[in-house]
Structure 1
Amino acid sequence: MGATRTPRGRWIEQGLRMLAAGGPEAVRIEPIAQALGVTKGGFYGYFKNRDALLTEILDTWERETTEALIERVESEGGDARTRLDRLFTLVAAPDVPVTGTAADLAIRDWARRDEQVARRLQRVDDRRMDYLRLLFGGICEDEEDVEVRSLLAFTLRIGNSLVAARHGERTRADVLELTRQWLLR
Protein backbone atom coordinates (compact mmCIF):
# COMPACT_ATOMS: atom_id res chain seq x y z
CA MET A 1 0.00 0.00 0.00
CA GLY A 2 1.35 3.45 -0.96
CA ALA A 3 2.01 6.33 1.39
CA THR A 4 -0.88 8.61 2.23
CA ARG A 5 -0.58 11.90 0.43
CA THR A 6 -0.98 15.17 2.33
CA PRO A 7 -4.12 16.82 0.93
CA ARG A 8 -3.71 19.97 -1.15
CA GLY A 9 -5.90 21.93 1.25
CA ARG A 10 -3.54 21.27 4.14
CA TRP A 11 -0.66 22.86 2.20
CA ILE A 12 -2.82 25.91 1.54
CA GLU A 13 -4.09 26.10 5.13
CA GLN A 14 -0.57 25.90 6.53
CA GLY A 15 0.57 28.49 4.00
CA LEU A 16 -2.23 30.78 5.20
CA ARG A 17 -1.09 30.29 8.80
CA MET A 18 2.44 31.24 7.84
CA LEU A 19 1.22 34.23 5.84
CA ALA A 20 -0.86 35.40 8.81
CA ALA A 21 2.07 34.97 11.18
CA GLY A 22 4.86 36.46 9.09
CA GLY A 23 3.68 37.83 5.76
CA PRO A 24 4.39 36.39 2.31
CA GLU A 25 8.10 36.07 3.09
CA ALA A 26 7.22 33.45 5.72
CA VAL A 27 5.46 31.25 3.16
CA ARG A 28 8.24 28.81 2.25
CA ILE A 29 7.91 25.25 1.05
CA GLU A 30 10.39 23.61 3.45
CA PRO A 31 8.92 25.14 6.65
CA ILE A 32 5.39 24.28 5.49
CA ALA A 33 6.43 20.68 4.90
CA GLN A 34 8.08 20.57 8.33
CA ALA A 35 4.96 21.97 9.99
CA LEU A 36 2.89 19.33 8.23
CA GLY A 37 5.35 16.60 9.17
CA VAL A 38 6.00 15.61 5.56
CA THR A 39 8.72 16.02 2.96
CA LYS A 40 8.57 18.88 0.50
CA GLY A 41 8.36 16.46 -2.44
CA GLY A 42 4.59 16.18 -2.01
CA PHE A 43 4.27 19.90 -2.56
CA TYR A 44 5.24 19.59 -6.22
CA GLY A 45 2.44 17.11 -6.85
CA TYR A 46 0.03 19.98 -6.30
CA PHE A 47 1.87 23.19 -7.09
CA LYS A 48 4.27 24.19 -9.84
CA ASN A 49 6.16 26.51 -7.50
CA ARG A 50 5.86 28.84 -4.52
CA ASP A 51 4.10 31.51 -6.61
CA ALA A 52 1.38 29.00 -7.49
CA LEU A 53 0.90 28.30 -3.78
CA LEU A 54 0.70 32.03 -3.01
CA THR A 55 -1.99 32.41 -5.68
CA GLU A 56 -3.95 29.51 -4.17
CA ILE A 57 -3.58 31.05 -0.72
CA LEU A 58 -5.04 34.33 -1.99
CA ASP A 59 -7.84 32.48 -3.79
CA THR A 60 -8.72 30.60 -0.60
CA TRP A 61 -8.58 33.73 1.53
CA GLU A 62 -10.85 35.60 -0.89
CA ARG A 63 -13.34 32.76 -1.15
CA GLU A 64 -13.51 32.02 2.59
CA THR A 65 -13.51 35.57 3.95
CA THR A 66 -15.84 37.05 1.39
CA GLU A 67 -17.90 34.80 -0.87
CA ALA A 68 -18.37 31.86 1.52
CA LEU A 69 -19.14 34.24 4.36
CA ILE A 70 -21.77 36.08 2.31
CA GLU A 71 -23.26 32.77 1.18
CA ARG A 72 -23.46 31.60 4.79
CA VAL A 73 -25.18 34.80 5.90
CA GLU A 74 -27.63 34.68 2.99
CA SER A 75 -28.38 30.96 3.25
CA GLU A 76 -30.21 31.35 6.56
CA GLY A 77 -32.38 34.17 5.20
CA GLY A 78 -34.03 36.87 7.25
CA ASP A 79 -34.43 40.59 6.85
CA ALA A 80 -31.47 42.95 6.50
CA ARG A 81 -31.13 43.50 10.26
CA THR A 82 -31.09 39.75 10.93
CA ARG A 83 -28.49 39.16 8.23
CA LEU A 84 -26.32 42.04 9.52
CA ASP A 85 -26.51 40.61 13.02
CA ARG A 86 -25.53 37.18 11.67
CA LEU A 87 -22.64 38.71 9.72
CA PHE A 88 -21.35 40.54 12.81
CA THR A 89 -21.63 37.37 14.87
CA LEU A 90 -19.70 35.33 12.32
CA VAL A 91 -16.83 37.79 11.87
CA ALA A 92 -16.50 38.37 15.62
CA ALA A 93 -16.51 34.69 16.56
CA PRO A 94 -13.50 33.62 18.63
CA ASP A 95 -12.95 30.66 16.32
CA VAL A 96 -12.56 32.70 13.13
CA PRO A 97 -10.41 30.49 10.89
CA VAL A 98 -6.85 31.24 9.88
CA THR A 99 -8.23 32.84 6.75
CA GLY A 100 -9.67 35.57 8.93
CA THR A 101 -8.35 38.74 10.47
CA ALA A 102 -4.64 37.94 10.86
CA ALA A 103 -4.43 36.91 7.22
CA ASP A 104 -6.34 40.07 6.25
CA LEU A 105 -3.72 42.24 7.92
CA ALA A 106 -0.86 40.31 6.35
CA ILE A 107 -2.46 40.65 2.91
CA ARG A 108 -3.08 44.37 3.44
CA ASP A 109 0.59 44.81 4.28
CA TRP A 110 1.62 42.68 1.30
CA ALA A 111 -0.62 44.76 -1.01
CA ARG A 112 1.44 47.84 -0.16
CA ARG A 113 4.39 46.20 -1.95
CA ASP A 114 2.72 44.14 -4.68
CA GLU A 115 0.42 45.68 -7.29
CA GLN A 116 -1.32 42.39 -8.17
CA VAL A 117 -2.13 41.73 -4.52
CA ALA A 118 -3.30 45.36 -4.20
CA ARG A 119 -5.73 44.88 -7.11
CA ARG A 120 -7.10 41.68 -5.59
CA LEU A 121 -7.47 43.34 -2.19
CA GLN A 122 -9.35 46.24 -3.80
CA ARG A 123 -11.72 43.77 -5.48
CA VAL A 124 -12.34 42.02 -2.14
CA ASP A 125 -12.84 45.31 -0.30
CA ASP A 126 -15.26 46.51 -2.99
CA ARG A 127 -17.26 43.29 -2.73
CA ARG A 128 -17.42 43.53 1.06
CA MET A 129 -18.50 47.18 0.93
CA ASP A 130 -21.14 46.45 -1.70
CA TYR A 131 -22.59 43.74 0.53
CA LEU A 132 -22.61 46.01 3.57
CA ARG A 133 -24.33 48.74 1.55
CA LEU A 134 -26.96 46.25 0.43
CA LEU A 135 -27.67 45.16 4.00
CA PHE A 136 -27.59 48.61 5.59
CA GLY A 137 -29.76 49.84 2.72
CA GLY A 138 -32.38 47.45 4.03
CA ILE A 139 -32.54 49.24 7.38
CA CYS A 140 -31.72 52.84 6.41
CA GLU A 141 -33.36 54.98 3.77
CA ASP A 142 -30.78 57.76 3.73
CA GLU A 143 -27.89 56.94 1.34
CA GLU A 144 -25.42 58.91 3.44
CA ASP A 145 -26.42 56.96 6.54
CA VAL A 146 -25.99 53.70 4.61
CA GLU A 147 -22.51 54.76 3.52
CA VAL A 148 -21.43 55.87 7.01
CA ARG A 149 -22.67 52.66 8.63
CA SER A 150 -21.07 50.55 5.92
CA LEU A 151 -17.74 52.33 6.32
CA LEU A 152 -17.88 51.98 10.10
CA ALA A 153 -18.66 48.28 9.92
CA PHE A 154 -15.95 47.73 7.30
CA THR A 155 -13.40 49.67 9.33
CA LEU A 156 -14.35 47.69 12.43
CA ARG A 157 -13.64 44.47 10.54
CA ILE A 158 -10.16 45.67 9.65
CA GLY A 159 -9.53 47.36 12.97
CA ASN A 160 -10.82 44.32 14.82
CA SER A 161 -7.50 42.69 14.06
CA LEU A 162 -5.66 45.58 15.62
CA VAL A 163 -7.83 45.99 18.71
CA ALA A 164 -5.97 45.03 21.85
CA ALA A 165 -7.53 42.22 23.82
CA ARG A 166 -8.77 44.77 26.35
CA HIS A 167 -9.92 48.39 26.35
CA GLY A 168 -9.77 49.35 29.98
CA GLU A 169 -12.13 46.88 31.59
CA ARG A 170 -13.90 46.02 28.34
CA THR A 171 -12.97 42.92 26.42
CA ARG A 172 -12.72 42.80 22.65
CA ALA A 173 -16.10 41.04 22.63
CA ASP A 174 -17.59 43.89 24.70
CA VAL A 175 -16.30 46.49 22.26
CA LEU A 176 -17.68 44.54 19.30
CA GLU A 177 -21.07 44.14 20.99
CA LEU A 178 -21.34 47.87 21.73
CA THR A 179 -20.45 48.63 18.12
CA ARG A 180 -23.00 46.11 16.83
CA GLN A 181 -25.72 47.65 18.99
CA TRP A 182 -24.94 51.14 17.74
CA LEU A 183 -24.80 50.16 14.06
CA LEU A 184 -28.06 48.22 14.22
CA ARG A 185 -30.08 50.85 16.10
Structure 2
Amino acid sequence: MAPIPAVARTTRARWIEAGLEALAEGGPDAIRVETLAARLGVTKGGFYGHFDGRPALLAEMLDEWEHRSTREVLAQVETEGGDPADRIRRVGRLTFSEDLHRIDLAIRAWARHDESVAARLRRIDNERMGFLRTMFGSFITDPDEIEARSTLAFALAIGRHFIVADHPGYTTRDVVRLAGEHLLRP
Protein backbone atom coordinates (compact mmCIF):
# COMPACT_ATOMS: atom_id res chain seq x y z
CA MET A 1 0.00 0.00 0.00
CA ALA A 2 1.40 3.42 -0.97
CA PRO A 3 1.88 5.92 1.81
CA ILE A 4 -0.65 8.73 2.04
CA PRO A 5 1.05 11.95 0.96
CA ALA A 6 1.55 14.45 3.73
CA VAL A 7 -0.72 17.47 3.57
CA ALA A 8 0.87 20.72 4.59
CA ARG A 9 -0.82 22.22 7.60
CA THR A 10 -2.43 25.58 7.23
CA THR A 11 -0.28 27.96 9.21
CA ARG A 12 -1.49 30.22 11.97
CA ALA A 13 -0.45 33.18 9.80
CA ARG A 14 -2.71 32.01 6.94
CA TRP A 15 -5.68 31.77 9.29
CA ILE A 16 -4.96 35.28 10.59
CA GLU A 17 -4.57 36.65 7.06
CA ALA A 18 -7.83 35.01 5.98
CA GLY A 19 -9.52 36.51 9.04
CA LEU A 20 -8.22 39.99 8.26
CA GLU A 21 -9.40 39.69 4.66
CA ALA A 22 -12.85 38.55 5.83
CA LEU A 23 -12.95 41.45 8.30
CA ALA A 24 -12.12 43.96 5.54
CA GLU A 25 -14.77 42.46 3.26
CA GLY A 26 -17.62 41.95 5.69
CA GLY A 27 -16.83 43.09 9.21
CA PRO A 28 -16.39 40.94 12.31
CA ASP A 29 -19.53 38.87 11.65
CA ALA A 30 -17.87 37.59 8.45
CA ILE A 31 -15.12 35.95 10.50
CA ARG A 32 -16.43 32.41 10.92
CA VAL A 33 -14.23 29.35 11.25
CA GLU A 34 -16.22 27.41 8.65
CA THR A 35 -16.05 30.29 6.16
CA LEU A 36 -12.32 30.80 6.68
CA ALA A 37 -11.68 27.07 6.29
CA ALA A 38 -13.58 27.07 2.99
CA ARG A 39 -11.63 30.11 1.83
CA LEU A 40 -8.37 28.35 2.69
CA GLY A 41 -9.52 25.07 1.17
CA VAL A 42 -9.08 23.13 4.40
CA THR A 43 -11.25 21.63 7.10
CA LYS A 44 -12.00 23.64 10.21
CA GLY A 45 -10.30 21.03 12.40
CA GLY A 46 -6.88 22.54 11.70
CA PHE A 47 -8.07 25.85 13.11
CA TYR A 48 -8.29 24.39 16.60
CA GLY A 49 -4.66 23.26 16.42
CA HIS A 50 -3.72 26.95 16.37
CA PHE A 51 -6.47 28.72 18.30
CA ASP A 52 -8.60 28.01 21.36
CA GLY A 53 -11.58 29.47 19.53
CA ARG A 54 -12.81 32.42 17.53
CA PRO A 55 -12.01 34.99 20.28
CA ALA A 56 -8.34 33.91 20.19
CA LEU A 57 -8.26 34.40 16.42
CA LEU A 58 -9.86 37.83 16.72
CA ALA A 59 -7.27 38.89 19.31
CA GLU A 60 -4.41 37.69 17.13
CA MET A 61 -5.88 39.45 14.11
CA LEU A 62 -5.88 42.71 16.07
CA ASP A 63 -2.30 42.04 17.17
CA GLU A 64 -1.27 41.48 13.56
CA TRP A 65 -3.03 44.65 12.37
CA GLU A 66 -1.36 46.65 15.13
CA HIS A 67 2.04 45.21 14.31
CA ARG A 68 1.76 45.80 10.56
CA SER A 69 0.10 49.19 10.58
CA THR A 70 1.89 50.79 13.52
CA ARG A 71 4.92 49.02 15.02
CA GLU A 72 6.40 47.88 11.70
CA VAL A 73 5.68 51.21 10.01
CA LEU A 74 7.20 53.36 12.76
CA ALA A 75 10.28 51.12 12.95
CA GLN A 76 10.80 51.32 9.19
CA VAL A 77 10.39 55.10 9.13
CA GLU A 78 12.80 55.47 12.06
CA THR A 79 15.39 53.32 10.31
CA GLU A 80 15.06 55.17 7.00
CA GLY A 81 15.19 58.60 8.65
CA GLY A 82 14.62 61.81 6.72
CA ASP A 83 13.20 65.17 7.60
CA PRO A 84 9.92 65.30 9.56
CA ALA A 85 7.74 66.04 6.51
CA ASP A 86 9.22 63.06 4.64
CA ARG A 87 8.66 60.84 7.67
CA ILE A 88 5.01 61.93 7.90
CA ARG A 89 4.52 61.23 4.17
CA ARG A 90 6.13 57.80 4.51
CA VAL A 91 4.09 56.87 7.57
CA GLY A 92 0.93 57.89 5.73
CA ARG A 93 1.82 55.88 2.62
CA LEU A 94 2.71 52.80 4.64
CA THR A 95 -0.02 52.93 7.28
CA PHE A 96 -2.83 53.78 4.92
CA SER A 97 -1.81 51.75 1.88
CA GLU A 98 -4.86 50.22 0.22
CA ASP A 99 -4.48 46.79 1.84
CA LEU A 100 -3.97 48.16 5.37
CA HIS A 101 -6.48 50.99 4.96
CA ARG A 102 -9.28 48.50 4.23
CA ILE A 103 -8.49 46.66 7.45
CA ASP A 104 -8.16 49.92 9.39
CA LEU A 105 -11.61 51.07 8.25
CA ALA A 106 -13.13 47.70 9.17
CA ILE A 107 -11.56 47.88 12.63
CA ARG A 108 -12.95 51.41 13.08
CA ALA A 109 -16.43 50.16 12.21
CA TRP A 110 -15.99 47.18 14.57
CA ALA A 111 -14.83 49.48 17.37
CA ARG A 112 -18.20 51.27 17.29
CA HIS A 113 -19.79 48.06 18.59
CA ASP A 114 -17.04 46.48 20.71
CA GLU A 115 -15.49 48.38 23.62
CA SER A 116 -12.36 46.21 23.77
CA VAL A 117 -11.67 46.90 20.09
CA ALA A 118 -12.42 50.59 20.69
CA ALA A 119 -9.91 50.68 23.55
CA ARG A 120 -7.21 49.13 21.38
CA LEU A 121 -7.99 51.47 18.49
CA ARG A 122 -7.83 54.46 20.86
CA ARG A 123 -4.39 53.35 22.07
CA ILE A 124 -3.12 52.91 18.50
CA ASP A 125 -4.61 56.21 17.35
CA ASN A 126 -2.98 57.93 20.33
CA GLU A 127 0.35 56.43 19.31
CA ARG A 128 -0.13 57.62 15.73
CA MET A 129 -1.14 61.09 16.92
CA GLY A 130 1.90 61.16 19.20
CA PHE A 131 4.12 60.52 16.19
CA LEU A 132 2.44 63.35 14.26
CA ARG A 133 2.73 65.76 17.19
CA THR A 134 6.43 64.96 17.52
CA MET A 135 7.08 65.42 13.81
CA PHE A 136 5.07 68.65 13.48
CA GLY A 137 6.57 69.88 16.76
CA SER A 138 10.04 69.62 15.24
CA PHE A 139 9.31 72.51 12.88
CA ILE A 140 6.32 74.29 14.45
CA THR A 141 6.42 75.91 17.89
CA ASP A 142 2.76 76.87 18.44
CA PRO A 143 1.06 74.02 20.37
CA ASP A 144 -2.35 74.89 18.90
CA GLU A 145 -0.98 74.65 15.36
CA ILE A 146 0.79 71.37 16.16
CA GLU A 147 -2.47 69.88 17.44
CA ALA A 148 -4.50 71.25 14.53
CA ARG A 149 -2.11 70.00 11.86
CA SER A 150 -1.75 66.62 13.54
CA THR A 151 -5.52 66.21 13.75
CA LEU A 152 -6.11 67.37 10.17
CA ALA A 153 -3.37 65.11 8.78
CA PHE A 154 -4.78 62.13 10.68
CA ALA A 155 -8.36 62.89 9.65
CA LEU A 156 -7.28 63.24 6.02
CA ALA A 157 -5.48 59.89 6.09
CA ILE A 158 -8.49 58.08 7.54
CA GLY A 159 -11.26 60.00 5.84
CA ARG A 160 -9.88 60.24 2.30
CA HIS A 161 -11.72 57.02 1.57
CA PHE A 162 -15.06 58.70 2.21
CA ILE A 163 -14.58 61.79 0.04
CA VAL A 164 -16.95 61.62 -2.92
CA ALA A 165 -17.24 65.33 -3.75
CA ASP A 166 -16.25 66.55 -7.19
CA HIS A 167 -13.06 68.57 -7.46
CA PRO A 168 -13.18 70.39 -10.82
CA GLY A 169 -9.86 69.91 -12.57
CA TYR A 170 -8.57 67.49 -9.90
CA THR A 171 -8.99 63.89 -8.93
CA THR A 172 -9.75 63.05 -5.32
CA ARG A 173 -6.23 61.64 -5.08
CA ASP A 174 -4.82 64.97 -6.34
CA VAL A 175 -6.84 66.95 -3.80
CA VAL A 176 -5.83 64.70 -0.91
CA ARG A 177 -2.18 65.05 -1.93
CA LEU A 178 -2.52 68.85 -2.17
CA ALA A 179 -4.17 69.02 1.25
CA GLY A 180 -1.46 66.86 2.76
CA GLU A 181 1.30 68.98 1.24
CA HIS A 182 -0.41 72.13 2.54
CA LEU A 183 -0.34 70.67 6.06
CA LEU A 184 3.36 69.86 5.76
CA ARG A 185 4.43 73.40 4.88
CA PRO A 186 6.83 74.98 7.38
**Same fold per superposition (TM over 0.5):** yes
Instruction: Give the secondary-structure state (helix, strand or coil) at the position aligned to 1:160.
Output: helix
Residues 22-171 of structure 1 mapped to structure 2, 5 A cutoff: 22-91=26-95, 93=97, 96-97=98-99, 100-164=100-164, 167-171=167-171
Kindly provide the amino acid, as one letter, of the partner of residue 38 in structure 2.
Answer: Q
> RCO (CA 8 Å, sep 6+): is it higher in 1 or 2?
1
5+ residue gaps, structure 2: none
1:162 Cα deviation from its structure 2 partner: 2.0
Report the TM-score when normalising by structure 2: 0.89
Kindly provide the amino acid, as one letter, of the partner of residue 153 in structure 1.
Answer: A
CA RMSD of aligned residues (A): 1.8
Tell me: CA distance 1:20–1:184, structure 2 relative to 1, closer, same or farther (3 Å): same
- How many residue pairs match? The answer is 181
Asked if the contact 1:92–1:176 (Cα under 8 Å) also holds between the matched residues in 2, the reply is: no
1:167 Cα deviation from its structure 2 partner: 4.5
Q: Taking every aligned residue pair, what percent have the same amino acid on both sides?
A: 49
5+ residue gaps, structure 1: none
Kindly provide the amino acid, as one letter, of the partner of residue 156 in structure 1.
Answer: L
1:37 Cα deviation from its structure 2 partner: 1.3
CA–CA distance in structure 1, aligned partners of residues 166 and 11 of structure 2: 38
Match of 1:10 among 5, 10, 14: 14
Larger Rg computed on CA atoms: 2
CA deviations on 1:47-96 (whole Å, 9 max, x unpaired) are: 11011000011111111111111111111012212212322333454xx3
CA–CA distance in structure 2, aligned partners of residues 104 and 47 of structure 1: 23
CA deviations on 1:87-132 (whole Å, 9 max, x unpaired) are: 2333454xx33xx222222211211221111111111111111011
Tell me: CA distance 1:61–1:155, structure 2 relative to 1, closer, same or farther (3 Å): same
1:12 Cα deviation from its structure 2 partner: 0.5
